[in-house]
Amino acid sequence: MTTRDDTKTRLDALRVEIERRNPAQPEFHQAVHEVLDTLAPVLAARPEYAEPGLIERLCEPERQVIFRVPWQDDQGRVHVNRGFRVEFNSALGPYKGGLRFHPSVNLGIIKFLGFEQIFKNALTGLGIGGGKGGSDFDPHGRSDAEIMRFCQSFMTELYRHIGEHTDVPAGDIGVGGREIGYLFGQYRRITNRWEAGVLTGKGAGWGGSAIRPEATGYGSVLFAAAMLRERGEDLEGQTAVVSGSGNVAIYTVEKLLALGANPLTCSDSSGYVVDDKGIDVELLKQIKEVERGRISEYAERRGASARFVPGGRVWEVPADVALPSATQNELDENDAAALVRNGVKAVAEGANMPTTPEAVHLFQRAGVAFGPGKAANAGGVAVSALEMAQNHARTAWSPTKVEEELAHIMSAIHTTCHETAERYGAPGDYVTGANIAGFERVADAMLAQGVI
Ligand code: NDP
Ligand code: 2IT
């Protein structure tokens, strides 16, 4: 019989082996460790999951593509970026996951994101596998024409690896509706196919789903509300700190306001704004979505209630709820200690892996409800899967219908994580609940489909 000690020894050995075979990929190691650290109870209880090679297969991408992306700027200078697509696991459906354009992108970052995506996508209950891609291209300060040429060059290679039944990319940092438009145009041109389901996050008039832009932020607020409700509290009337000011942060702020909470902050890589009256979401959208400006402009235009703190971190602002919605490892142990000191009750990760492992443990020890990204931010990819369903049926659902579906999916994810954590002896631990519940679904499919 396999004991928990045997399982732990095996998982520890696997961690060491994964570090050895994937050198210089700290974010990938971090994401894998976080999952492996929580699997011992399920491997001990369900011997079929301890089958040799299952976890090893899960931690090795099915396919990794790296390619050159040459493009010309407006002055005619040639730039060479690197493109990535990591097709991690397709046991549950076509690879599904976003594209990130940011100078920090490298293979390790894309692998961490693709690995997380497997479990997140499993938690949605929909038929989507896990993948991720992107480029070290920096879109900041680039003209529309430069962005278009870059996207066209990127798709000129990527098109041969994707397809509605194979791999379906979407947006992430630096990739929103504009970029998806240019990518889709080039795919259509090269393939001469109107294959709407090859990308999600498309425009409303040409195959996009209602509520896809809003879905990640709305979903993470719904997840925070569900965690609070579990503790007999209501989100209404609570103050919130939100980081980031991109797609996820904007619709997090919008949903907080809609549910009667008070979002006090948002940020970008230059610093943060705090607004004593609560963030004005229309002004935020104007500056960030329409003008593509900097967050300091919000404080300049908002008046006396708001100020800009250059270089600061939103976590120093006291609040009841925290929603990190910018990037990985943006909330460390010191930030967590400050939030706990100031009485934070719940943290829901809108971003992927924004909280360092030390900070997660600190929240859990302090009894703060902690919703990991693979559960809390799954609303975005869930509505992407609904977009694929609409494309397949050549139909378009109303915003009301999509929003109802999203609310239903987020509530089901919360319940699944909560119940799974309890079942495996970790009540209230949403990290364990999310990892085990996602793992069970993928592992069952992998076992049924044989050693491939
Ligand atoms: P956007 O590009 O729209 O916005 C990103 C925001 O985060 C910007 O405010 C940006 O500031 C800030 N940011 C990015 N990188 C850094 C950094 N290294 N340091 C400081 N600030 C940074 O991206 P999204 O809102 O789409 O994505 C935010 C997070 O949510 C990511 O972790 C993403 O993986 C995750 N996510 C996104 C989903 C989606 O559907 N879009 C779905 C699920 C998760 P600046 O402009 O100054 O760089
Ligand atoms: O991290 C994520 O879940 C996303 N960036 C969204 C992926 C998607 O396919 O919609």
Q: Pocket of ligand 1, candidates 110, 111, 209, 269: which has the most ligand atoms within 8 Å of its Cβ, to mutate?
A: 269
Q: Which fold has domain 215-371?
A: Rossmann fold (3.40.50)
Percentage of the chain surpassing pLDDT 90?
Answer: 97
Q: Pocket of ligand 2, candidates 216, 218, 386, 390: which has the most ligand atoms within 8 Å of its Cβ, to mutate?
A: 216
> In a 10 Å sphere around its CB, with 0-12 CB exposed, 13-18 middle and 19+ buried, how is residue 343 labelled?
exposed
Distance 333 CA to ligand 1 centre (A): 21
Cα gap 444→418, rounded to integer Å: 20
Stretch among 11-15, 125-129, 274-278 having the lowest mean pLDDT: 11-15
Single-letter amino acid code for the residue at 228: L
Cβ atoms of residues 355 and 324 within 8 Å: yes
The secondary structure of residue 331, as a DSSP letter, is: B
Cα gap 283→132, rounded to integer Å: 32
Give the start-to-end residue ranges of the domains of the chain.
Answer: 63-195, 215-371
Comparing C-alpha atoms, which of 207, 10, 225, 27 is closest to residue 107? 27
Q: Which tokens in the block code for residue 109?
A: 């970052």
Cβ atoms of residues 439 and 420 within 8 Å: no
User: Where does residue 338 fall: left (phi above 0), alpha (psi -120 to 50 degrees), or beta otherwise?
Assistant: alpha
**H or E stretch covering 392:** helix 378-392
The whole-number pLDDT of residue 272 equals 98
Looking at the annotation, which residues are catalytic?
A: 132
The whole-number pLDDT of residue 406 equals 99
Query: Within 10 Å of residue 214's Cβ, how many Cβ atoms?
Result: 23
The whole-number pLDDT of residue 2 equals 58
Average pLDDT, the chain: 97
pLDDT of 288 over the 60 cut: yes
pLDDT of 1 over the 60 cut: no
pLDDT tens figures, 328-355: 999 999 999 999 999 999 999 999 999 9
Question: Residues 66-78: what's their mean pLDDT?
Answer: 98
The whole-number pLDDT of residue 140 equals 97
- What values do phi and psi take at 375, rounded to 5? -100, -50
pTM of the model: 0.98
Cα gap 204→202, rounded to integer Å: 7
Query: Within 10 Å of residue 320's Cβ, how many Cβ atoms?
Result: 20
pLDDT tens figures, 3-48: 667 788 889 999 999 999 999 999 999 999 999 999 999 999 999 9
Q: 171: Cβ below 6 Å to ligand 1?
A: yes
Atom of ligand 1 nearest to the CA of 353: 32
Distance 124 CA to ligand 2 centre (A): 12
Cα gap 240→254, rounded to integer Å: 12
pLDDT tens figures, 384-425: 999 999 999 999 999 999 999 999 999 999 999 999 999 999
29 CB contacts (<8 Å, ≥6 apart)? Answer: 15, 18, 19, 22
Stretch among 9-18, 72-81, 292-301, 366-375 having the lowest mean pLDDT: 9-18
The whole-number pLDDT of residue 407 equals 99
The whole-number pLDDT of residue 439 equals 98
Cβ atoms of residues 209 and 337 within 8 Å: no
pLDDT of 131 over the 70 cut: yes
Q: Which CATH class is domain 63-195?
A: alpha beta
H helical segments located in 124-242: 144-158, 177-191, 212-230
pLDDT of 249 over the 80 cut: yes
Atom of ligand 1 nearest to the CA of 373: 44
> In a 10 Å sphere around its CB, with 0-12 CB exposed, 13-18 middle and 19+ buried, how is residue 10 labelled?
middle
Q: Which tokens in the block code for residue 112?
A: 């961490």
pLDDT of 227 over the 80 cut: yes
pLDDT of 451 over the 80 cut: yes
Distance 9 CA to ligand 1 centre (A): 37
- Tell me the CA distances in angstroms from 173 to 118, 135, 272, 373, one per residue in order: 19, 11, 18, 15
* Identical topology for domains 63-195 and 215-371: yes
Distance 131 CA to ligand 2 centre (A): 9
The whole-number pLDDT of residue 383 equals 99
pLDDT of 374 over the 80 cut: yes
The whole-number pLDDT of residue 244 equals 98
Residues with CB under 6 A from ligand 2: 96-98, 117, 120, 170, 172, 200, 352, 380-381, 384
Distance 62 CA to ligand 1 centre (A): 26
263 CB contacts (<8 Å, ≥6 apart)? Answer: 239, 240, 241, 242, 252, 253, 256, 257, 278, 279
